[in-house]
Chains A and B, each alone.
Chain A
Amino acid sequence: MKYLCLIYDNESEWQKFPKDLQDKYMGEYTAFGDSIKKSGQYVGANQLQPSHTATVVRSRNGKVSTTDGPFVETKEQLGGYYLVEAKDLNDAIQVASRIPSARSGAIEVRPIVERTPA
C-alpha cells in the first residue's frame, strides 16, 4: 500500500544554516533515499521550492482565482515529500521516522487511495 510522507519543517531556520550543515543534511537525505530504494519502498520523492514560490488556485463557478503564497501560513512549511510502498501504517511510520526532518519538524503520513483499474 502506498503512503505519502509530507515533510514539514522550518524553512527560515534551514536557510540560516551554514553551508557545511546544509551539506550534512543533504547527505543524510541521500543516505535515506538510497536505503529505501534498496529496500524497495521508494516510489517517488521531490524537494519543493520554498513556500514563497507557492500559489493557491481555486475555481468557483467556472471562475479561476489565484492567491499568492502557501495555503496556510504556519511556523513549519511543506518542504518536500516521499511516496513510499509499505505493508501497513506501522511500516510507513517506521519509514517516515527515518526522514531527517522528522527530528526537527514533522512528517504527515497519508494513505493513498488505491483504485483498481476498471
Chain B
Amino acid sequence: MKDDIEARVRDRVDALYRSDSRRVLATLIRLLGDFDLAEEALHDAFATAVEQWPEKGIPSNPGAWLISAGRFKALDRLRKSARFESADGEVLDRLHATEMPDQGEEGVEDDRLRLIFTCCHPALNPDAQIALTLREVCGLTTEEVARAFLTPAPTLAQRIVRAKSKIRDARIPYEIPSLADLPDRLDSVLHVIYLVFNEGYLASAGPELTRESLSAEAIRLGRLLVELLPEPEAMGLLALMLLHEARRAGRTSSLGDLILLEDQDRSLWNRVQIQEGVTLIERALASRRIGPYSLQAAIAALHAEATDTASTDWAQIVALYDVLLKAEPSAVIELNRAAAIAMRDGPETGLELIDRILAMGELVDYYPAHAARGELCRRLGRVSDAMAAYRRTLELVTQEPERRFLERRLTELDSRL
C-alpha cells in the first residue's frame, strides 16, 4: 500500500519536473539572486516533495509548494554554512526581504521572461547565450547541449560557468528590459533561438544533415516566447521555423540524401505546421510592424502554399526580398533574391546578378553562392562552367549529403561533355 502511494507520488513528481521545473527555477533565481543557488534549491525542493508527499499528500498548488520549499531549503543551507561571507549575507537579506507572493499566473510568466532575457543578454558571449539558454530555459543537460553543438562537454561546462560568473560579477540584472530597450534585447533573444534552430536544421558538420531535437527545442522556445510576449517579430520567427520544419520529411531521402526544393514530394510536408505558420505570419503582418523574420516567414509561406515550383509566386517572393534587403542589407539576402529572380526572369538574368554579387567578394567562400552559380550554368547548358562552380562548392562544403549531391551532379555533367 505504502509502495503504491510512493510510486504514484514519484510519477507525479516526474511529470511535474517535466512540466514545471523551468518555471520554478525561474522564480527561484529571482528570489535567491543566483543561478547556482537556485539550481540547488530546485533539486532540494523536488527531493523534499518525494520525501514528504506520500505522507502529507500532494498539495493543491504544487508549483507554489516547490518554490516555497526551495526557498526554505536555500535559507536553511545558508544558515548552516560555516562560511558567512558577505555574498551569503546579501542573499540572506534578500531572502528575508522578498515577500513570498501569492504568485498569480502573471508573476510566474514574468520570471520566465526574466530568465530568457538574462540568458540572452548581449553582454554575454553569443556561444554562452546559446548554451545558457538551452541549459536553464530548456532544461537540457550540459552533455546534451555539448553533443548537440559537437563541443566537448568540459568546454561547454566551462562556457556556462563563465557566463554565470559574468552575470554575477558584472551584475547583469534579472529583469525584463524596459520598453526602450526591448527591441534590441528581443533581437538578441530571437537571434539565439534562430541559431539553435539553424544548428538543428542544418548541422554544421558531419554525416547527418539535420539534428531534429535541436530544431524542436528552438520551436518550443519560440512558442514560449510568443506566449509570454506576443510581439510580431517573435511570431514571425516562430512562423519561419514552423514553415521550414514542415518540409523536413521532404528534404532528405530515406538514405539521407539531399533533395532540392523543386524535386521534393510536397505531400510529405507537414500541413498542420504549415497552417500554424501561415496563421502566425498573417497575424504578424497585420500588426504592420514588419521585421526581417516576418519577411523571411512570408517568403517561406509562399513556398509552403505552392503546389510546385512552377506555380510558386516568384514575383511576390522577389518583392518580399526587395523589402527584406532594405530592412537588412546583406550579401546572403542578395544571393537568395538573385535565385528568386532566376526563377522569375530566367537563369541568364539570375546568373548575371550572382556573378556581380560574387565579384563583390564577401561570398567568395560561401558555398551556396557557388552552388547557385553551378545550378544556373547547368540550366543554361554551360557544362564546363557548371562543373567549375560545383567543384568550387565541393571544396567548401562540410556535410556528407551535400558532398554526395555535388558529386552526383558532377558525374552527370561529366557525361554530357
Q: Which residues of A contact B123 (CB under 8 A)?
A: 89, 93
Rounded to whole angstroms, the CA-CA distance of A89 and B170 in the bound complex is 6
Q: Which residues of B contact A90 (CB under 8 A)?
A: 172-173, 175, 177, 181
**B86 and A1 contacting across the interface, CB-CB below 8 Å:** no
B83 proximal to A (CB < 8 A): no
Q: Which residues of B contact A116 (CB under 8 A)?
A: 86
Most buried by B among A1, A93, A116: A93
Mostly, the B contact residues are loop
0/1 per residue, A1-36, Cβ < 8 Å to B?
A: 100000000000000000000000000000000000
A111 proximal to B (CB < 8 A): yes
Kindly identify, within residues 338 to 366 of chain B, every residue whose CB is under 8 Å from any CB belonging to chain A.
Answer: none
Rounded to whole angstroms, the CA-CA distance of A37 and B123 in the bound complex is 26
**Chain B: minimal CB distance from A3 (Å):** 8
**A111 and B172 contacting across the interface, CB-CB below 8 Å:** no
0/1 per residue, B166-193, Cβ < 8 Å to A?
A: 0001111101010001000000000000
**Chain A: minimal CB distance from B186 (Å):** 15
Name A88's contact: one of B86, B173, B177, B181 (CB within 8 Å): B173
**A111 and B170 contacting across the interface, CB-CB below 8 Å:** yes
Rounded to whole angstroms, the CA-CA distance of A87 and B173 in the bound complex is 9
Kindly identify, within residues 49 to 91 of chain A, every residue whose CB is under 8 Å from any CB belonging to chain B.
Answer: 87-90
**A89 and B171 contacting across the interface, CB-CB below 8 Å:** yes
Q: Which residues of B contact A89 (CB under 8 A)?
A: 123, 170-173
**Chain A: minimal CB distance from B221 (Å):** 23
Q: Which residues of A contact B171 (CB under 8 A)?
A: 1, 88-89, 111
**Chain B: minimal CB distance from A73 (Å):** 25
Rounded to whole angstroms, the CA-CA distance of A47 and B177 in the bound complex is 32
Q: Which residues of A contact B181 (CB under 8 A)?
A: 90
Q: Which residues of B contact A1 (CB under 8 A)?
A: 171
Rounded to whole angstroms, the CA-CA distance of A93 and B178 in the bound complex is 13
Q: Which residues of A contact B172 (CB under 8 A)?
A: 88-90
Q: Which residues of B contact A109 (CB under 8 A)?
A: 170
0/1 per residue, B148-174, Cβ < 8 Å to A?
A: 000000000000000000000111110
- What would 15 more interface pairs be, CB under 8 Å, given A89-B172, A111-B170, A116-B86? A1-B171, A88-B171, A88-B172, A88-B173, A89-B123, A89-B170, A89-B171, A90-B172, A90-B173, A90-B175, A90-B177, A90-B181, A109-B170, A111-B169, A111-B171
